[in-house]
Amino acid sequence: MTAPLPDFLLEPLVRAALTEDLSPMGDVTTRAVVPAGTRYAARLNAREAGVVSGMQIAALAFRLVDPALSVETCVTDGSPIAPGDTLMRIEGDAASILMGERVALNFAGRLSGIATLTSAFVAETRGTRTRITCTRKTTPGLRVVEKMAVAHGGGSNHRFGLSDAILIKDNHVAAAGGIRAVLEAAKAARSHMMRVELEVDRLDQLEEALEVGGADVILLDNMDTPTLRRAVALAGGRVVLEASGNMQLSRISEVAATGVDYISSGALTHSARTLDLGLDF
């Protein structure tokens, strides 16, 4: 299982979501209709099968609303869940539970959807060495938790942002004057801790990149399956190969069978359906 992040890294995200939901006057409905001091026990339940993610951040939402709430997490992020499973128990002031409900469910449903979709992608690679990885196509401001959800689904994380690695895309190649020029520049600029990835969309570009050297990873962009097979044979294990470009679930099995090391897909984060979870009193 993926180790949880420190709560202090997640607090700004949760505080922003709670502020968005409760500003400027708090929960006027609850204040109007629920008598002060009412206590209740609630359960966060799964309404469909999937892989859970976001329990840590959901629990944090309730605790930030009211530190006196008793919050018991019943499943670990990354665990499979079935309809009817209780994921969390919350007990204490009813108004506090109701104030944190939507933010907790928004995070947990969204992140569980990403983990569930990632798990489906990973299942299509069984029997191969290929690993599934995400991209930077994440919801602005939520990258850290969405990438964590990918890990909960059994996937790998690509670079977090623009400062993690040198990833040379087609526009960089065009601006720098070609593959040789861009790789030579990257080799001169990189530190001993910085990896270099080069995007290519033709086999002749792959050949040139292998000849020049300097790339740790080569991203094979928008290649059909026969071309991916030829690329794997051409590389001969000399570099890590990543296949990308419109990588939908229906294609993952055949792409993994080509022998690429990684398949990256933006769909993991930008197209995942929210998993149906509910809070029951």
CATH number of 227's domain = 3.20.20.70
| Mean pLDDT, residues 168-184 taken together | 95
Residue 1 has pLDDT above 80, yes or no: no
199 is annotated as contributing to ligand binding: yes
Whether 138 and 109 map to the same domain: the answer is no
Percent of the chain residues past pLDDT 70, beyond the cut: 100
Per-chain mean pLDDT for the chain: 97
Is residue 2 domain-resident? Answer: no
The set of residues, in sequence order, having a beta carbon less than 8 Å from that of 247 and lying 6+ positions away, is 255, 263, 264, 265, 267
Same domain, residue pair 129 and 239: yes
Please count the residues of the chain. 281
Average confidence (pLDDT) over 95-115: 98
The number of domains in the chain is 2
Mark whether 134 and 259 lie in a shared domain.
yes
Which are the catalytic amino acids?
Answer: 102, 137, 169, 199, 221
> Is 246 annotated among the ligand-binding residues?
yes
User: Per residue in 49-82, pLDDT tens?
Assistant: 999 999 999 999 999 999 999 999 999 999 999 9
pLDDT at 25: 95
Residue 102 is labelled as binding a ligand? yes
**CA–CA distance, 77 with 68 (Å, rounded to integer):** 23
The answer to whether 43 is a known ligand-binding residue is no
d(CA 196, CA 166): 5
Task: Say whether 143 counts as a known binding-site residue.
Answer: no
pLDDT at res. 2: 81
In a domain, 1, yes or no: no
Task: State how far the Cα of 48 lies from the Cα of 84, in Å rounded to an integer.
Answer: 8
Residue 263 counted as domain residue: yes
Asked if residue 77 and residue 14 are part of one domain, the reply reads yes
Residue 98 forms part of a structural domain: yes
Residue 130 known to bind ligand? no
For 139, the domain range is 122-271
pLDDT tens digits, residue range 11-46? 999 999 999 999 999 999 999 999 999 999 999 999
In this model, does residue 189 exceed pLDDT 70? yes
Helix (H, G, I), strand (E, B) or coil at 137: coil
Query: Would you say 202 is a known binding-site residue?
Result: no
Average pLDDT over residues 157-184: 95
pLDDT tier for residue 3 given thresholds of 50, 70 and 90: confident
Task: Check whether residue 23 and residue 45 sit in a common domain.
Answer: yes
Do 252 and 126 sit in the same domain of this protein?
yes
Quote the CA–CA distance of 64 and 133 in Å, as a whole number: 32
Establish if 135 belongs to a structural domain.
yes
